[in-house]
Amino acid sequence: MRTIYKYQCLEMDNFTIEMPTGSHILTVQMQRGEPCIWAIVDPDAFPEQRHFQLFGTGHPIDGIGRYIGTFQLMGGNLVFHLFEV
């Protein structure tokens, strides 16, 4: 049965998360001061490694992948944009 799971973005640069194959990412947002990714997953599906990269506003972005979303830290003083690469 498909379920919505939450994954924390533990790194603030490049990072990898293991998710069930075929997972559909819904959004990235802040929760209790931490950036998190929510995805629709099939918990019984074989796991795969998904690779992500964060870019700050004004930073160069070379070879970006699929845009996931944007979130803010420190009351909006820092803005990051998440891509799956």
pLDDT at residue 76 greater than cutoff 90: no
- What pLDDT shows up at residue 75? 85
- What pLDDT shows up at residue 12? 75
* Residues 25-52 pLDDT 10s: 999 999 998 999 999 999 999 999 999 9
Question: For 9-20, what is the mean pLDDT?
Answer: 89
Which pTM value belongs to this model? 0.90
Band of residue 13 on the pLDDT scale cut at 50, 70, 90: confident
Coil, strand or helix at 76: helix
Burial of 31 (0-12, 13-18, 19+ CB in 10 A): exposed
